[in-house]
Amino acid sequence: MKQKDKKQIKRNSGRMLNFVLPDPDILDDIKDAPQYKTARTKEKSKHSFKLGMDLAEGRITEIKSNYLYLVEVNGEMHTASMSGRLKQFLYQSHALAAVGDRVSLDLSNAPDYRVEHILPRTNSLIRYGGGSFQKEIILAANIDQVIITSSWRMPMFKPGLIDRYLCIAAIHGIAPIIVINKIDLLEDSEELEEATAYYRYIGIPLLCTSIIDGTGMLELRNMLCNKDSVFTGHSGTGKSSLINYLEPSLTLATAEVSDFNEKGKHTTTQAILLPWSFGGHLLDTPGIKTISLHGDQKELIPKVFPGFDRFHHDCRFRDCSHTHEEDCAVLKALEDDLIPIERYDSYLNIYEGLK
C-alpha cells in the first residue's frame, strides 16, 4: 500500500471514531412506525418526514415580531410563524432566525404557514450589542456582497476607511465591492489611479460612479443584479443617492432610520431584504452603521488585512502580527515594495487601535 493511501485510511477511521450512533433501539421503533412503511410516491417526495407537510424553500425577508416572519417563496410573500418544535430548539440554543435565512416552509395549512427548518447560513452580518455584556446581534444572513461606498470628494476619499471596511467584510465572509462615488468631482485622474492602484492590484472589484453624469451606474446595476447586497460607507458618500438612482421606488421604502433612538439606546435592528426590479435584493439595515471592528477580532486582522493573504502564510510564526517578528513575510514584502507603506501604516493603525 502506498504511503498516501495509508494516511487516507487513518484519517477516515479517526472520523468514524467521532461519529456517535444514536441508541440502536431507535432504529427498531422507526421500522415499526407506519409512515416509514408507506412507499414514497412521486407526489409525496416533496413532503417531509412529518406526514402531511408540504415543504417549500423560502427566504426570510423581514421579521415582523418574535417568531413571525415575512417569507419569500418563488417571488411570492407569505407571513409565517415558527413551528413550536423549532421555537423550542432555537430558544435552547440561544439562536434566532435572521433576515436572509433560507428556511423550509410548510405550506400545507395555508394561510397558516410554518417555518419548519432554518438551513445552514453561508455567512452572517454581526454587530455587537452595547454595554458590558457583549452579545452578538445577527443583522442578516446569506448576504452575497457588501458595497463599500466612498466618495472621491465631499467627503474626501480615505483609503484607511476602505481598509477598515474590507477587514470587516473579510471577517464576515462577504465579498466586497469598492464604489468611489461623486467621480464627477474628479480633477486629476492620475491621482485617482494612484489612490486605487493597490486595490485593483490585489483584485478587489472597484467601480467609479456618479449620479450626476451616470458614470459607472450601468456597471453597478450589473454587479447588483441577482445578488443580495448591502451598502455600507460613511455618511454623505451617496448610498441613498445611488439606490435612488437605480430604483427610485426602493428609496421610499428605505427609511433613514437612525441607529439610536432619542435616549441614545439602540433601536431594534429592523433589517429588510428589498427586491430590486432587475433581480436580487438590497439589504436595508440601520445596524450596518454600527458594525465596526471589535477587540475580539484583533488577532484576525494580520490575516484579513487587504492583500496580506498573499504573504502571511509564509511568516515564520502562524500568529505573526507583522510588527516585530523574525522572518515575517509581510515585513519582507514591505521592504520589497510589494506593499505600499501607506497600506502598512493603515494596517498598524487598525491593528494597534484594537484592544
- Contact residues: Mg ion, CB under 5 A: 239-240
Can you tell me which residue has the cell 489612490? Answer: 195
> Smaller CB distance to ligand GTP: residue 210 or 321?
210
Q: How far is the CB of 127 from ligand GTP (least distance, A)?
A: 16
- If you compute the radius of gyration of the chain from its CA atoms, what whole number of angstroms results? 25
211 contact choice in ligand GTP, Mg ion, Zn ion, none (CB below 5 to 8 Å, kind-dependent): ligand GTP
Q: Which of 328, 334, 339, 350 touches Zn ion by CB under 5 A?
A: 328
d(CA 11, CA 117): 32
Answer yes or no: are the C-beta atoms of 172 and 125 closer than 8 Å.
Answer: yes
C-alpha to C-alpha distances, 150 to 144, 197, 231, nearest whole angstrom? 19, 16, 10
Cα dihedral: 94, 98, 102, 105 (round 10): 80
- Which contacts qualify for 80-89: CB closer than 8 Å, 24 or more apart? 80/105, 80/113, 80/114, 80/115, 81/112, 81/113, 81/114, 81/115, 82/114, 82/115, 83/114, 83/115, 83/116, 86/115, 86/116, 86/117, 86/118
> Smaller CB distance to Mg ion: residue 240 or 297?
240
72 contact choice in Mg ion, ligand GTP, Zn ion, none (CB below 5 to 8 Å, kind-dependent): none
Site pattern 259..298 for Zn ion (x: CB under 5 A): ----------------------------------------
Can you tell me which residue has the cell 466586497? Answer: 176
Q: Which residue from 248, 244, 250, 309 is spatially nearest to 284, judged by alpha carbons?
A: 250
Can you tell me which residue has the cell 486605487? Answer: 196
Number of residues written out for the chain: 355
Q: How far is the CB of 151 from ligand GTP (least distance, A)?
A: 7
Q: Which residue from 165, 207, 159 is spatially nearest to 182, judged by alpha carbons?
A: 207
> Smaller CB distance to ligand GTP: residue 77 or 212?
212
Q: Is 322 in the site for Zn ion (CB under 5 A)?
A: yes
- Residues in 192-231 at the binding interface with ligand GTP, rule: CB under 6 A: 210-212
Q: How far is the CB of 251 from Mg ion (least distance, A)?
A: 9
> Smaller CB distance to ligand GTP: residue 30 or 185?
185
165's grid cell: 471596511
What is the number of alpha carbons within 13 Å of residue 143 lying toward its C-beta?
34
181 contact choice in ligand GTP, Zn ion, Mg ion, none (CB below 5 to 8 Å, kind-dependent): ligand GTP
Q: How far is the CB of 148 from ligand GTP (least distance, A)?
A: 12
Q: How far is the CB of 172 from Zn ion (least distance, A)?
A: 23
Q: Is 236 in the site for ligand GTP (CB under 6 A)?
A: yes
Q: Is 333 in the site for Zn ion (CB under 5 A)?
A: no
Q: How far is the CB of 158 from ligand GTP (least distance, A)?
A: 14
Which residues here bind ligand GTP, judged by CB under 6 A? 181-182, 184-185, 210-212, 235-241, 256
Which residues here bind Zn ion, judged by CB under 5 A? 315, 320, 322, 328, 330
